[in-house]
Amino acid sequence: MSRSAYNPRLVWSTVILAFALWFVTFYLGWLNFWIKIAFSAATLAALSVCAHALKDNRLLFDRTAFLQGIATAVVLYLVFWAGQAVSSHLFPFATHQVGAIYGKGAGFSSLTIFFILLLVTGPCEEIFWRGFLQRNLMGRYGEIPGWLLATAIYTGVHIWSFNFMLIGAAAVAGAFWGFLYLKLKRLDTLIICHSLWSAFIFAVVPLG
């Protein structure tokens, strides 16, 4: 993305909106968590589409995208598996906080959560966080600074959970997906990776 295409008012207004939506999603107790996170992600994705974010991204969903997406989802799952094993020994509160993350799914079946993450939350988050926000920030500030800034913002919106483990998980996952986007320049790969990883780690083979 060229510097002339960067619209600071649009970019930073969506960042403020993301902080507000994640506040409602994580901090306020009304409505089911999965409904709120799906609505929040879909809202940001819709704004990104209206801002023509998709036209600047590669969305072929070809064999390469699926192979890359599946492989990187497995790698990220293994990273989290190792991280959970280590953190449970280092931090006495880790097990409780991980359990609190999974406890947010109360009231919905695992199958429902699986399809929400696979078909709504995963794709929509990548459309906004990488396809729109990181792409704009890399175009404006350069690839590495843009990736780091986008990762910091993605981590920051999770502060409303007041859950150290969740915030740390957001930092790791956000940095991982952002780096993949920086290197591959393929939003389709990121959508597949994020959607599969989140669906499986929350609904099929959870950690802890």
Predicted confidence at residue 76, as pLDDT, reads 98
Which two three-digit tokens encode residue 93? 């509160």
pLDDT greater than 80 at residue 87: yes
Q: Position 93: which residue type?
A: F
Residue 208 lies in a domain: no
H/E element, 176: helix 164-184
- Going by C-beta distance under 8 Å and a sequence separation of 6 or more, which residues neighbour residue 176? 72, 76, 79
- Going by C-beta distance under 8 Å and a sequence separation of 6 or more, which residues neighbour residue 130? 150, 177, 178, 181, 187, 190
Residue 19 lies in a domain: yes
Q: What is the pLDDT of residues 89-141, one digit of tens each?
A: 767 766 667 666 666 766 789 999 999 999 999 999 999 999 999 999 999 99
Residue 146's pLDDT band (boundaries 50, 70, 90)?
very high
Task: Give the pLDDT mean for 140-160.
Answer: 97
Residue 90 lies in a domain: yes
Q: What is the pLDDT of residues 17-47, one digit of tens each?
A: 999 999 999 999 888 999 999 999 999 999 9
In order of 74, 91, 123, 140, 158, the CA distances from 194 in angstroms are 10, 27, 7, 25, 17
The H helix count followed by the E strand count for the chain is 10, 0
Whether the pTM exceeds 0.85: the reply is: yes
> Shortest CA distance to 100 belongs to which of 26, 17, 40?
26
Residue 143 lies in a domain: yes
- Indicate the SS3 state at residue 28: coil
Domain count, the chain: 1
Residue 199 lies in a domain: yes
Range of the domain at 98: 3-203
pLDDT greater than 60 at residue 4: no
